[in-house]
Amino acid sequence: MPQAQIIDGKAIAESVRQEITNRAAKLLETSGKRPGLAVVLVGEDPASQVYVRNKDRAAEACGFHSVKHTLGAETSEADVLALVEQLNNDPEIHGILVQLPLPGHIDESKVLRLIRPEKDVDGFHPVNVGLLTAGERDSALVPCTPAGSLVLLKRTLGDTLSGKNAVVIGRSNIVGKPMASLLLQESCTVTIAHSRTRDLPDVVRAADIVVAAVGRPEMIKGDWIKPGATVIDVGINRIPAPELGEGKNRLVGDVAFNEAVDHAGAITPVPGGVGPMTIAMLMVNTLTAARRLLGLPDEEPLF
């Protein structure tokens, strides 16, 4: 079995961001408007700070108007809701993202439901979840990580997803469930696995496409992968890396990459796979939201 093709999420994300930069420049030319993205970070979670910084930088690089609101961990729920309301009504802002997780004293779903669906560039609002589930993907805003994972699958497999067995491991609202929706709409036969699934290795062995979104480092072993299957590893886990020095850690995915490369036909690396795509698809959603709020038709979808 030849070693798996490594799916270069970094390069594909860069090509998507380039396309968005071009489209935003044209929008500026024709309408004098820049897409506006507001990212809200509450608390000091280090990983969230990295992601929010990446998002802010990507938006700037795409020529967007980008605003970062950083609030202290003790900020009241009322203050967060008031900021969301202010952003809902800000004509310069077309996309709002409230970085998760929020501190425990704040009701996440209350905050997410307050975001105007048209500005919900995470695609977490029930209106967008409903549109996606109902198959009205073209009028929804689709969650960035599942959308990015689908772009990687299509760039790797072309339009051959129909009829393939797909196993999504994980059923979260931000990855697993919307990922399963997207794969179903591509006419895959979709299995959603979770912590109560029995005989998980055998379930995974039946899959032509595996999407791992569990949050457990290197849980999915190489011999769980059907020879030639395509593996999308969403997991981002920081594990101690003493070889890099005292107290150092490194990123690994949910898949035991070094084993899986000997079984898979194609696989995403961590880092450099799904992560950059999440950022790229946030740019896509922000431009889409801006055009719709400006009363302009959607452009050619990227997936």
Ligand X SMILES: NC(=O)C1=CN([C@@H]2O[C@H](COP(=O)(O)OP(=O)(O)OC[C@H]3O[C@@H](n4cnc5c(N)ncnc54)[C@H](OP(=O)(O)O)[C@@H]3O)[C@@H](O)[C@H]2O)C=CC1
Ligand Y SMILES: Nc1nc(=O)c2c([nH]1)NC[C@@H]1CN(c3ccc(C(=O)N[C@@H](CCC(=O)O)C(=O)O)cc3)C=[N+]21
Contact call for residue 216 and ligand X (CB under 6 A): yes
Point out the catalytic residue in the list 99, 119, 164, 233. 99
Which among 47-55, 183-191, 196-204, 220-228 is the span making contact with ligand Y, rule CB under 6 A?
47-55
The tokens describing 200, both together, are 């998980």
Contact call for residue 272 and ligand Y (CB under 6 A): yes
Residue written as token pair 């003790």: 74
Which amino acid is it at 205? R
CA 211 to chain centre: 12
Q: How far is the CB of 235 from ligand Y (least distance, A)?
A: 10
Does the annotation mark 90 as catalytic?
no
Q: Which of 23, 26, 35, 19 is nearest to 293 (CA)?
A: 35
Contact call for residue 237 and ligand X (CB under 6 A): yes
Does the annotation mark 18 as catalytic?
no
Q: Which distant-in-sequence residues (6+ apart) come within 8 Å of 2 by Cβ?
A: none
Q: How far is the CB of 243 from ligand X (least distance, A)?
A: 22
Site for ligand X in 184-213 (CB under 6 A): 193-197, 200, 213
Which amino acid is it at 235? G
Three-class secondary structure of residue 206 per DSSP: coil
Contact call for residue 234 and ligand X (CB under 6 A): yes
Does the annotation mark 138 as catalytic?
no
Q: Do the beta carbons of residue 87 and residue 119 sit within 8 Å?
A: yes
From the list ligand Y, ligand X, none, which binds 208 (C-beta under 5 to 8 Å, kind-based)? none
The tokens describing 210, both together, are 């595996």
Q: Which residue is nearest to ligand Y (CB)?
A: 275
Phi-psi region of 218 (alpha: psi -120 to 50; beta: other; left: phi over 0): left
From the list ligand X, ligand Y, none, which binds 63 (C-beta under 5 to 8 Å, kind-based)? none
Residues annotated as catalytic are: 55, 99, 122
Q: Which residues form the interface with ligand Y (CB under 6 A)? A: 50-51, 54, 97-100, 122, 144, 236, 251, 270-272, 275-276, 278-279
